[in-house]
Amino acid sequence: MVSLFLILSVSLFIAYFYAIWLRYLWIIPLLLCLAFFVFSIGWLLQKERVNSLFNDYWLFFAWLIILVGLFLILQFFGAPAISSFLFLIIINILLLIWSYIFKYEDGKIVWHIWFGFVAFSLLVYLGIVFGIQVCMDAFMSIWCLYLGVVAFIVCLLSLWYEIKQNMYYLLFVLVWGAIVIFFYKLIFNIYVFLIIVAVCLWLLYFLIDYVLKHKPPTQNQVKEISVRRILAGERVLQEIPQHNRLAEIIYDFVNETPRFVKYVLEFANTLIIVILIYLYFKNALSLKWSIEQLFYRIIMILFIVNVILLKKINYTSTVQRLFTYLVVNFAIYISLFAAFEWDVWNIVIWWIVWNLISSAVVFRVHKTRLGQYLRKTDYLFWIFATILAMIVNVILLFNTTLSGKLLFPIILLYVWFQGILLYYSLRFVHKIKEVEIDEPILFN
């Protein structure tokens, strides 16, 4: 199959170069052929590393060459760029369905990946040429198209052909994305939209947490009958567990969630706060109290609540840990600027107070209920965010109207006191015993 793809791709390139009277570029397909023969010889000689590279990556490269060749030929015959991209997307979809029908395992991976690559290339082109709004509309259309393709494979082809479990999880993610797109089209206020999405994520995280905490009895557990217990009357006095097949299926589906789904669910919560911060700086929002300020705080609170739920179900990553502490400080930042209306001296004084309190709380939080969800990495990010806040405080102090003779001892005293707290915080975190948790690689 790889050889067939390579021959086809080289033929497409040669045909293209001859069509545009650039025959001297035949060196490109020749080099590709030489590379193919090098990998083939290594494969025949059973060289382990060359063989591994050949099996794992050459099919991706071969299909990339085919896609580029098809795109260039379409461009040569005058096809618009958008039509060329759509043609390649359709080709990938048809080949993806074909791979499931004829059980071509490599194709199931390759054409999934290159469908995403071509779709991403189309979105980049639309964003550069027509703007972000056209790019967003195209993204939602491609998402719904992909949902239809995956739903066709999972719901229809699964009746006759074997479908891997990952496709069901992919369908689950695409359905949730389609729900978000529906709310985006229905609601015109971006802040209300973000609140609704954050609430939907909270409901999803809560349901996952509930399912994981209530494991249903399996059929084998229900059938376990002890004669001694029957004679003792235990089966009569105690409630007999009932086997619920649907509850067992739901629990297994949630419990066996692959890492890419965990990453997507965690990333969705982080994306909300990224969009919120982007909107704040883009719109240059007035720092006076307003309904938008209220929406900002509601979204931030929902983000923190979702972070706690994600930690309970062990769906968390380094990116989210970093954003959690940055968002807390960002919320304090906009609150102080809204309260004091750019009065730098009052803002920096209260921010220094908050920074010191935040450093001191590290020593006590492990004894609270929140402490059972925090790991050593979380404390380190907490300290890192405190250091960043200290740097910002020092910069703001330089922008006050204080004289240099008074400013220098204030900064020196503040940095010294903050440094002492940070030093003992690091010593304290070093002594914390880490609880071993079985986490996926992407979520360390």
> Each residue of 298-325: pLDDT tens digit?
888 898 889 888 888 888 777 777 777 7
Residues 6+ apart with CB under 8 A from 72: 16
Min mean pLDDT across 140-149, 333-342, 376-385, 405-414 is at: 333-342
Q: What is the pLDDT confidence band of residue 198, given thresholds at 50, 70 and 90? A: very high
Asked if the model's pLDDT at residue 51 lies above 90, the reply is no
Mean pLDDT score across all residues of the chain: 76
pLDDT exceeds cutoff 90 at 149: yes
Q: Output the CA–CA distances (angstroms, integers) from residue 244 to 87, 168, 210, 222, 249, in the order listed.
A: 47, 21, 16, 10, 9
Q: What is the pLDDT of residue 36?
A: 54
**pLDDT score, position 435:** 47
- Most confident stretch, 31-40, 293-302, 366-375: 293-302
Q: What is the rounded average pLDDT of the residues 317-344? A: 70
Q: Between 164 and 245, where is the model more confident?
A: 164
Q: Which of 37 and 74 is assigned the larger pLDDT?
A: 74
pLDDT per residue as tens digits for the range 104-117: 887 888 888 889 99
Specify the residue for token string 């982080």: 270
Answer left, alpha or beta for residue 314, where phi above 0 means left and psi between -120 and 50 means alpha.
left
Rounded distance between C-alpha atoms, residue 345 and residue 257, angstroms: 50
| Angle, vertex CA 173, rays to CA 172 and CA 175, nearest 5 | 65
Mean pLDDT of 369-393: 77
| Angle at 116 (CA atoms; ends 115, 117), nearest 5 degrees | 90
Q: How confident is the model at residue 360 (pLDDT cuts 50, 70, 90)?
A: confident
Which pLDDT does position 89 carry in this prediction?
93
pLDDT for residue 392: 81
Residue 441 has pLDDT above 50, yes or no: no
Which burial class, exposed, middle or buried, applies to 396 when counting CB atoms under 10 A from its CB (0-12, 13-18, 19+)?
A: middle
Average pLDDT over residues 6-20: 60
Banded model confidence at residue 342, pLDDT cuts 50, 70, 90: low
List the structure tokens of 295. Answer: 């929406």
**pLDDT recorded at residue 199:** 93
**How far apart are the C-alpha atoms of 231 and 267, rounded to whole Å?**
55
Statement: residue 127 has pLDDT above 70: yes
pLDDT for the residue numbered 48: 45
* Orientation angle between helical segments 105-130 and 81-101, nearest 10 degrees: 160
Q: CA-to-CA distance for 255 and 374, rounded, in angstroms?
A: 22
How many contiguous H segments (helices) and E segments (strands) does the chain have? 18, 0
Does 440 score more than 50 pLDDT? no
Which among 50-54, 66-70, 83-87, 187-191 has the top mean pLDDT?
A: 83-87
- Confidence at residue 401, expressed as pLDDT on a 0 to 100 scale: 74
Could you give the CA distance from residue 305 to residue 180 in angstroms, rounded to a whole number? 19
Give the contacts of 41 (CB within 8 A, at least 6 positions apart).
Answer: none
DSSP notation for 139-156: HHHHHHHHHHHHHHHHHT
Assign 18 a pLDDT band (cuts: 50, 70, 90): low
Q: 3-state DSSP call for residue 422?
A: helix
Other beta carbons less than 10 A from residue 318's beta carbon: 12
- Residue 274 corresponds to which tokens in the numbers above? 């990224």
Tokens 């692959």 belong to: 258
CB 194 within 8 A of CB 269: no
Mean pLDDT of 200-212: 91
Structure tokens, 356: 């010191």
Task: Write down the pTM of the prediction.
Answer: 0.71
